[in-house]
Amino acid sequence: MDNDKMTRCKIKAVIGAGIALILFGGCGYDQTSNDQVASTENVSNIDKSENDIKEDNVDITEASWEDGYTIVLNTYREEAEKISKDGLYWDSFDEIPAIPNVEDTIIEMEFYNQFGPFAFMLKDLDGNEIPELFICRATEEFDGGVIYQIFTWHDGKTIELLGNLGYRNGICTICQDNLLKVESSGTATDYGNTIYCLPKNSTELRVVEQFFAIQNKEDSAKSDFFWFSSDGEKTLITEEKYLEYVQNYDEQADLRYIEGTQDNIAHISDFTVPEDEVNSVELDTSTIIEDQSFDIRLNEWGEVRFVSCRPDKDKSPNADASFYLMDHEQVIYKMPSVYENDIRDWELFEGISFVAFKDINEDKKDEIIVGIQYITGVGPQGMIPRTEVRIFEDKGDSFEYSKELSEYVTNSVPEVVTIQDVYNIIMK
């Protein structure tokens, strides 16, 4: 991706009667006549002008991101408590409170239209060790939610990155590689997605790509499908290609929705963990078995590298193989150990015979299936490898070793095992 060509802009997601339109202020993004995603005549513009902002915004220099985000969160918390108690109390747009430490910014209108628990997320989108703040309403179990507004912190100031979000404005999803997907819809034939990234230490999102369905001019019941590059170049695509683009971006599996209580807000720094502690698993790259390691798109984990590693025989002659998921050069997950400290009771590691990714239990998630060869090293048959099959089931934010099924398959396969033999046994 050519970063120099990526559009730099502050974004407001605006929904019109015809289609969701992303306004690119000062970006030279011209979509007039046949190239336009939507006419501005069809757009109900709910973007906030300076006249709409209450005058209680003040010039505040914040000592830290914790200070800045605490002000934002307490402003939202007070509103959430007020409408939970009294319902919607304001009659006009200009009664919506300003966020006092963020320039020209008020509480999002759509926040008032949903009544799940107030929540927030902290997610470092650009890897600069300062998390971005996501204003949300969550499910009762806090295992999902809707994002309404996103903030970053830079040079003593809290800054709005993205607003005008919510069910009716645009659904924002945090995807792999910390990309943001905003899905918006105006009608059954006008809808689309915009993908954003946050460059390191930037206060503005950049557009990575867009893909839209736009109502056909001759048949209002049909859509034409288009892909837009980061600099606005437009390409006609098929509906199948559009769906393929959509499927390229899945929500991250490790999102943490935090209840927006006064106590949680007061201890906001407790909900962040330094990057080196989050990814404390160390991996000796010299042990990686390259021909049994694969770049894959794995369920909700997104684009990852599955890595097979030979054991450290200096640790123990009975040391076992280990398996990891990596994001670029960083370990993000280690597969469960079958034996304590990855030390077997008997048999010596010989090699990996196969690795496969397949949904074998109809949960619409691929399991990881590994064949590991061992020898006893004892007697006439001691150097003949025996294959042990391990099956790891995806549980969302972790994997579980399927002990019973793995042992059953291992005891049922022939001496010379292929992955097809494993499938045949499982699918019986």
Q: Write down the pLDDT at residue 312.
A: 86
Q: Write down the pLDDT at residue 11.
A: 38
Q: Are 297 and 259 in the same domain?
A: no
The CA distance from 156 to 158, in Å, is: 7
Summarize pLDDT for 180-238 with one digit per residue, the tens: 999 998 889 999 999 999 998 999 999 999 999 999 999 999 999 999 998 889 999 99
Arithmetic mean of pLDDT, 394-418: 92
Rounded to two decimals, the pTM is 0.56
Two tokens at 428?
């019986």
Pairing of strands 330-334, 322-327: antiparallel
Q: With beta carbons less than 8 A apart as the criterion, state whether 370 and 289 touch.
A: no
Backbone angles phi, psi at 113, to 5 degrees: -95, -5
Q: Which of 34-43, 53-62, 104-113, 345-354 has the lowest mean pLDDT?
A: 34-43
Q: Are 267 and 283 in the same domain?
A: no
Q: Which amino acid is at 317?
A: P
Q: Are 302 and 190 in the same domain?
A: no
350 has a pLDDT exceeding 90: yes
Q: Are 210 and 342 in the same domain?
A: no
Q: Are 285 and 182 in the same domain?
A: no
From 275, 310, 326, give the residue that closes a domain.
275
253 has a pLDDT exceeding 90: no
Arithmetic mean of pLDDT, 119-128: 93
23 has a pLDDT exceeding 90: no
Alpha-carbon distances, residue 371 vs 27, 239, 245 (angstroms)? 53, 39, 33
From 275, 293, 310, give the residue that closes a domain.
275
The CA distance from 263 to 266, in Å, is: 5
Q: Write down the pLDDT at residue 104.
A: 87
- Which position has the higher pLDDT, 159 or 92? 159
Q: Write down the pLDDT at residue 315.
A: 78
* Owning domain of residue 232: 3-275
Summarize pLDDT for 389-402 with one digit per residue, the tens: 999 999 888 899 99
Q: Are 130 and 264 in the same domain?
A: yes
Two tokens at 258?
């935090």
Q: With beta carbons less than 8 A apart as the criterion, state whether 391 and 368 touch.
A: yes
| Nearest CA-CA partner of 153 in 119, 122, 117 | 122
Mean pLDDT, the chain, rounded, equals 82
Q: Which of 11-25, 301-315, 331-345, 357-371 has the lowest mean pLDDT?
A: 11-25
Backbone angles phi, psi at 161, to 5 degrees: -90, -45
Q: Are 271 and 363 in the same domain?
A: no
Q: Write down the pLDDT at residue 194.
A: 96
Local confidence band at 40 (pLDDT 50, 70, 90 cut-offs): very low
Q: Which of 6-15, 195-204, 242-251, 379-388 has the lowest mean pLDDT?
A: 6-15
406 has a pLDDT exceeding 90: yes
Local confidence band at 14 (pLDDT 50, 70, 90 cut-offs): very low
Q: Are 164 and 237 in the same domain?
A: yes
From 242, 275, 308, give the residue that closes a domain.
275
Q: Are 112 and 241 in the same domain?
A: yes
Q: With beta carbons less than 8 A apart as the criterion, state whether 169 and 19 touch.
A: no
Arithmetic mean of pLDDT, 408-416: 92
Local confidence band at 13 (pLDDT 50, 70, 90 cut-offs): very low
Q: Are 51 and 9 in the same domain?
A: yes
Arithmetic mean of pLDDT, 91-117: 85
Q: Are 260 and 304 in the same domain?
A: no
Local confidence band at 281 (pLDDT 50, 70, 90 cut-offs): low
The CA distance from 264 to 268, in Å, is: 6
Q: Write down the pLDDT at residue 401.
A: 94
Q: Are 361 and 237 in the same domain?
A: no
Instruction: List beta partners, residue 196.
Output: 180, 207
Q: Write down the pLDDT at residue 28.
A: 30
Report the domain count for the chain: 2
- Residues of the chain with pLDDT > 70, as a percent, come to 82
